[in-house]
Amino acid sequence: MTPARFDALLSHFAQLRVAIVGDFSLDRYFDIDPARAETSLETGLPVHNVTRVRCSPGAAGNIVQNLGALGAGALWPVGFCGDDGEGFELLKALRAVPGVSLDNFLRTPDRRTFTYTKPLLQAPPKAPVELSRLDIKNWAPTPGDVEDELCLALRNLGPELDALIVMDQAGVPGAGVITPAILRTVRDLTLAHPKLTVLADSRHGLGQFPPLIFKMNAAEFTALTGNVESVCHPIGDKRIDAPGVPLAEIMAGAERIAGGSKRAVFVTLAERGIVGAAPGGPAAHAPALPVRGEIDIVGAGDSVTAALTLALAAGAQIDEAMTLAQAAASVVIHQLGTTGAARGSELRALLFP
């Protein structure tokens, strides 16, 4: 990619209208000063003194944040939060993103706001150290009336959009935004608007999704292709790529998925980069950019989703979209102790030093 081509693609981002339907979280950071540690007189347990509280939009919200940082023209989050303090903070954080309209975002007493609370020990110049995370999530199925409102919002937005991102990250399947009814509505939108760029990413797997542009990690790829145990292994609540899996095997699988769905497919491989394939074409591989110091992977996948979607909607080829996505991920992983976002100027400086 030349600097001129990069500039042409980035300038087109400002014309794009994008909706993001999915699970929006509040990422709430508690900065703790270990030098101010105390012991509770009542319990004898350690007391962590919080010196600063930072709030960012997370999950689908961080995709919105990355889309805004890359200069997307108009953004419509489609999702929900609770009628609670966390919901107040999430809405405040979303309103701070350039180009965002919250006309299709619901605040309802029937849901709790999906929240990741992350206590961080801050002792500069050392990197932040995250303590055990505290999560708030919904455990009961999403109410039908909430689901109906979101489906209606998608149908109304459809004719206005250049791109749609579908993001499934609910901690409990069926208790988030991406339900069978939402997926049926998304499928109907793709049929009614065949030029619409629709990219999907799901923590719970893409097997039940209609044919869309799929973005997945190695674990989700191998689950979709039916060979999970030989290719990945669990760490906590996630699965990560096993470095010994031949890249050629992943590329061949991506080609098969793209050929069957008639849509592009992308497989992210952490330090091994990203594989992409378009229907009827050979798969391509974009390596990860070199690490330039300590890293924090929080938000990297969201930056890749945002960059791929905008690039494809702007007319980029598969290899161009992956180049931008890898640059965005490289920027974000070097932002420590935060839910990261990459700006277009940062991508340009990294790609064309």
Residue 141 has pLDDT above 80, yes or no: yes
pLDDT given at position 222: 82
Confidence of residue 235 (pLDDT cuts 50, 70, 90): very low
pTM of structure: 0.91
pLDDT given at position 242: 43
Tens of pLDDT along 101-117? 999 999 999 999 999 99
Q: How many CA atoms lie within 13 A of 139 on its CB side?
A: 2
Confidence of residue 205 (pLDDT cuts 50, 70, 90): confident
Dist. CA 163–CA 175, nearest whole Å: 25
For 105, list phi and psi in degrees, rounded to 5: -110, 125
Dist. CA 35–CA 121, nearest whole Å: 10
pLDDT given at position 301: 92
Q: What percent of the chain has pLDDT over 70?
A: 95
Q: Which residues of 322-347 are buried (b: 16+ CB within 10 A; e: fewer)?
A: bbbbbbbbbbbbbbebbbbbbebebb
Placement of tokens 């095997």 in the chain: 249
3-27+57-120+138-351 topology per CATH = UDP-N-acetylmuramoyl-L-alanine:D-glutamate ligase (3.40.1190)
Instruction: Identify the three-state secondary structure at position 341.
Output: coil
Region 174-182: mean pLDDT is 95
For residues 229 and 76, which has the higher predicted lDDT (pLDDT)? 76
Placement of tokens 């988030």 in the chain: 176
